[in-house]
Amino acid sequence: MTERINALLSEVESLAAADEKELEALRIKYLGKKGLLNDLMADFRNVPAEQKRETGQKINALKTALQDKLNALRQSLATKEDSHDDLDLTRTPYPVQLGTRHPLSIVKNEIIDIFSRLGFSMADGPEVEDDWHVFSSMNFAEDHPARDMQDTFFVEQHPDIVLRTHTSSVQSRVMEHTQPPIRVICPGRVYRNEAISARAHCFFHQVEGLYIDEDVSFTDLKQVLLTFAREMFGPDTKIRLRPSYFPFTEPSAEMDISCNICGGTGCAFCKQTGWVEILGCGMVDPNVLEANGIDSKKYKGYAFGMGVERITNLKYQVKDLRLFSENDVRFLDEFVSAN
């Protein structure tokens, strides 16, 4: 009996298990119901009375040794599992989710890119502007309806300070410190006191264009706008200019392009006309040149202003203006391939 116990005790030291399964097999073999330890216990009955005490202690010691060993094996299996043997600190922790450029930025950059290639540089001006740059210098009469409270956000207690309603204010900013030739585009955000809906918003984006030099003609304007329309919407795009009115241009026009959604045959977007309006333009009114320190006898110019949302709607068929400012990633993710 003692020999069997000693043999088992020396076995304990060398027990090993590669995984949970092997460990469980060991437990059953030694400590299970029909295991070796219980075999010993069964035979214990036959041990002579004077040896019972010593043998009993040995069996107990064996049991403790077995339990300790199996616990140690279990422990080492557990630590092995999260021992990070394959840890590679240089690996990217998870696939980096790239953001996407906002659709309005994509289109604005495209507009900038087209006009840069035509020789236009960029100009900027403040969104919180004074009445002079937004209205007076742009030839708005004192009682012009655009100054009305319904369109313009005024800064409280400062009737002279407004949120610019158009980027035409930057024309004035440029002219007051630059003599011709001037050839700039001015992208930026503008504000109007409008109820927010699918078709209107209290802020939106425009790109203004201004070209002043000697001998600038309406033909130059038309050619630049045609080039722009074809670059933006494809080489088959047609344009048409309809007479219009703006205080700062004379003559003035609005430009339509052939509807790029139906190709000009008529659809809901172009209200079955085959044409969609994309910008206002005209020859800079001599009053505007003079008000901003430019000799209207020597210089002439053209100007245009377009809505970035409108062009984006046309390019991507976005039907609700509010999507542009809600920052819903499901909408923004749609533009991942356009980046």
191 lies in the site for ligand DAH, by CB under 6 A: no
In angstroms, rounded to a whole number, what is the distance separating the alpha carbons of residues 262 and 276?
Answer: 11
Q: Which residue has the tokens 């209107």?
A: 200
188 lies in the site for ligand DAH, by CB under 6 A: no
192 lies in the site for ligand DAH, by CB under 6 A: no
First to last CA, the chain: 82
Report the residue number, 40 or 210, with the smaller CB distance to ligand DAH: 210
58, 133, 166, 183: which one contacts ligand DAH (CB under 6 A)? 166
233 lies in the site for ligand DAH, by CB under 6 A: no
305 lies in the site for ligand DAH, by CB under 6 A: yes
The interface with ligand DAH within residues 245-284 (CB under 6 A) comprises 246, 249, 280-282
The interface with ligand DAH within residues 38-67 (CB under 6 A) comprises none
**Closest separation in Å from C-beta 211 to ligand DAH:** 10
For helices 49-81 and 20-31, give the axis angle rounded to 10 degrees: 170
8, 303, 318, 323: which one contacts ligand DAH (CB under 6 A)? 303
291 lies in the site for ligand DAH, by CB under 6 A: no
285 lies in the site for ligand DAH, by CB under 6 A: no
With beta carbons less than 8 A apart as the criterion, state whether 135 and 104 touch: no
Q: Which residues are CB-contacts of 19 (< 8 A; sequence separation ≥ 6)?
A: 77
**Closest separation in Å from C-beta 304 to ligand DAH:** 5
Q: Which residues are CB-contacts of 290 (< 8 A; sequence separation ≥ 6)?
A: 296
163 lies in the site for ligand DAH, by CB under 6 A: no
Report the residue number, 17 or 152, with the smaller CB distance to ligand DAH: 152
Q: How many residues bind ligand DAH (CB under 6 A)?
A: 11
Burial of 247 (0-12, 13-18, 19+ CB in 10 A): middle
With beta carbons less than 8 A apart as the criterion, state whether 122 and 208 touch: no
For helices 20-31 and 36-44, give the axis angle rounded to 10 degrees: 10
Rounding to the nearest 10 degrees, give the CA dihedral for residues 242, 247, 248, 253: 0
**Closest separation in Å from C-beta 168 to ligand DAH:** 4
168 lies in the site for ligand DAH, by CB under 6 A: yes
> Residues interacting with ligand DAH, by CB under 6 A?
166, 168, 208, 246, 249, 280-282, 303-305
